[in-house]
Chain A
Amino acid sequence: MLVYSHVELNEVLALAMFFAFILLVFTGFPVAWILAGLAVLFTCIAIIVDIDLGLFTGVDWLYTSITVDRVWNVMENWVMVALPMFIFMGLLLDRSGIASELMTSFAKLFRRVNGGLAISVTLIGVLLAATTGIIGASVVLLALLGLPVMLRQGYAPMLASGTVCAVGTLGILIPPSIMLVLMADRMAMPVGDLFLGAVFPGLLLGSLYILYIVVLGWIKPDLAPKLPGEGSFDFKELQRLVLAILPPAALILGVLGSIFFGIATPTEAAGVGAFGALLLALWKRKLDLPVFKEVLTETTKTTAFIFAILIGATAFSLVLRGLGGDELIERTLLNLPFGPTGVVITILFCTFLLGFFLDWIELTLIILPLVSPVVVALGFDPIWFTVLFAVCLQTSFLTPPVGFAIFYLKGSAPPDLQATTIYKGVSPFIALQLIGLGLIFYFASLVTWLPAQAY
């Protein structure tokens, strides 16, 4: 009886810890330090419970001090070196103006098509996937780059804002994205495999977006008008456009390709990719010293906040696991009356809900490691599950009333853009996401085929 009640009390503490996190997140205090602080606080509580109630929780200072070793594991993790390098590469492409040049070139290329600008925004989002760490930043980037142009061209604000939101979140899914690097690390799977697994799902979603825009532009041309100006290209102009588009596209495909063919590890690909971006910016004469300094400072800041959350989440997860949180989740999930597929759907749905107020970093670091052993034990492919998890997160960021992407778009868009307009604008994209999610769910080979072909 005593043993039974100790297990229960442990788990009450684990639950309290988790809900304390959810509650405190809304105070707006930095997420990294809420996680770290709760680890310390619940260690204190566990010790007090041990002493005062005479129960053994197994969590004391010595246990929590394992965080030091875990931080060290992060420090000596060679694969994670790719993270600052991808951030550096993305920021170089963005801040040097290569991104906006690409945007203009694509827009010219698609100017005879209704919806051409929206298609350009989609392609930019897909190509610059690695640019930014967090959803907020990529949505803001596209909002500044694409939204004013589309609105000036007479696009329906609904379509314009919906496209920016959807594409801004799609970026986190398309390799080489830093989210996938972090997910692979937590799942203890090769980064290359996850990158390759995400290629077709990412392209699938991107194609669905473009298909929707083309069809809409065809049915209702007023919503997405063509660019004015003469219709045909001369050879010179085409040459100029190709020259503007080809190098950055080749750079990103080169990074992916070298991982695919086993020529380089993700770390090497990231470092060489950053070098390539640097050469590209220099060759285009778009890099002066102030811009370069800004890129480096931003790399430092982004890297610092990602690793701060990584450290906080490490401490938090350690204490949560010490209190039996993972067993609690495993038992709850396995006791669900739905069968294995139902369990996966439940997990994805919970992830979807949590994605309303947490960015992918927290969910990847805390939720993914908690649920993945269950999914793997049920016999599902870990890469397939991770990609589904990622698509699910991305959908969540799009969904009103508290989608991250909507929130950030509202913050950076012209003030007369109503929230309801954005809601209406993202709705069709949410439908597309659900179609994509369903396809990936039923056709697992969309994910698993490519990694099996590599090396």
Chain B
Amino acid sequence: MDLPSTWLSRIVDPALSRIAQGVSVIWVILMAVIVINVTARYLFEQGRIEFEELQWHLYSMGFMLTIGYALVVDAHIRVDVFHERLSHRARLWIDFYGLLFFVVPFCLVMLWYGWDFFIYSFNIGEISASPGGLPFRWFIKSFVVIGFALLLLAALSRLSRLYAGLFTRGT
């Protein structure tokens, strides 16, 4: 769908794309960490807990940081059997209402409770429960908040673009 850009989308969309580019590197690092850990396990007969924890730290950062980006590039799965036959305008309205009444409220709920979840971990200075695990458990928990904040930004950016597409003439 072609949509006009707005001042908000001109700030948010490139920022989220930049983050997604950074995440691309995460997959390579993740692969390297796994390969190193497997090699180490066979050479020294033991895997290392911090390496295994590093793996899910990297992977969870990877998807939490890019769920919003997927909204920006419209990569989320739609069932387009009927969607394709609707008029351009009807599709814009569906996205507009969907973002406004479904995505934004969900983000707000997740941010509200996600913040408590993060702050609790931060206040008690939570670390990994496994011996030899990574410190700063609150750091990775903060990605719940960051992820949904980015999703909210992406939703607002797209809402502004849909609004412009629906109500601006001659674009």
Contact = CB atoms under 8 A, between A and B. Distances in A.
Interface of A: 25-34, 36-41, 43, 61, 64-65, 67-69, 71-72, 74-78, 80-81, 84-85, 88, 134, 264, 267-268, 270-272, 274-275, 278, 293, 296-297, 299-301, 303-305, 307-309, 311, 315, 357-359, 361, 402, 407
B83 interface: yes
A26 B60 CA distance: 30
Interface in B67-110: 67, 69-71, 73, 75-84, 86, 91, 94-95, 98-99, 101-103, 105-106, 109-110
Given A32-B77, A305-B76, A27 B24 contact: no
A268 B38 contact: yes
Contacts of B149: none
Nearest to B68: A304
Contacts of A297: 20-21, 24
Contacts of B67: 304, 307-308, 311
Contacts of A29: 78, 94-95, 98, 102
B124 interface: no
22 contacts: A28-B79, A29-B78, A29-B94, A30-B98, A31-B78, A32-B76, A40-B106, A67-B110, A71-B114, A71-B144, A72-B141, A75-B140, A77-B56, A78-B56, A81-B59, A84-B59, A271-B30, A271-B33, A303-B62, A303-B63, A304-B67, A305-B70
Given A37-B105, A68-B110, A31 B59 contact: no
A299 B69 CA distance: 13
Nearest to B63: A307
A85 B37 CA distance: 15
Contact of A309 (B77, B94, B103): B77
A145 B33 CA distance: 34
The prevalent SS among residues of B at the interface is helix
B144 A296 contact: no
Contacts of B102: 29, 33-34, 36-38, 40-41
B156 to A, nearest CB: 14
Contacts of B20: 297, 300
Given A267-B34, A297-B24, A304-B67, A30 B80 contact: no
A422 to B, nearest CB: 15
Nearest to A312: B106
A348 to B, nearest CB: 22
A61 to B, nearest CB: 7
Interface string B38-69: 10000000000000100110011011101101
Given A68-B110, A88-B31, A358 B79 contact: yes
Contact of B81 (A33, A36, A68, A357): A357
A72 B148 CA distance: 13
Contacts of B99: 33
B136 interface: no
B117 interface: yes
Contact of A299 (B24, B37, B79, B113): B24
A267 B54 CA distance: 13
A44 to B, nearest CB: 9
A274 B31 contact: yes
B159 interface: no
